[in-house]
Amino acid sequence: MSAHELNAFLLQVSGDPLLQGRLRDSDAAAASTLARATGFDVTVGDLMRYKARATTWQLSDRELEVVAQWQADDQSYWWQHIWLG
């Protein structure tokens, strides 16, 4: 995982309400795509590891993409709530 890239992306998002809204509406794949579109090398695996670092650190990015697909539709992602006021 590139913690530096993920942290830099989240720092950029913290100062941009438009990006915050886009990230809030994103699943893991869309959040990774958004990060890459803004110049940060953030994978689905990076996002999922950040979400559950203690239990998923041994999984590969491919395995984590499968895990992300298993998430229930009604369960939101952690980044969808960061900038709610």
**Distance (Å, rounded) from C-alpha 53 to C-alpha 46?**
9
What does the pLDDT look like over 23-53, one tens digit per residue?
A: 999 998 999 999 999 999 999 988 887 776 6
2 confidence band (pLDDT: 50, 70, 90): confident
| Sequence spans of domains, the chain | 3-73
Position 76 pLDDT exceeds 70:
yes
Query: Rounded mean pLDDT of 56-75?
Result: 74
The residue-averaged pLDDT of 59-67 equals 79
Predicted model pTM? 0.63
Q: What is the mean pLDDT of the chain?
A: 83
**Cα–Cα dist 33/38, whole Å:** 9
- Report yes or no: 6 and 50 within 8 Å, Cβ to Cβ: yes
Q: Under a CB-based contact definition with an 8 Å cutoff, are residues 12 and 39 in contact?
A: no
Whether residue 16 is predicted with pLDDT greater than 80 in this model: the reply is yes
Question: Is the pLDDT reported for residue 56 higher than 70?
Answer: no
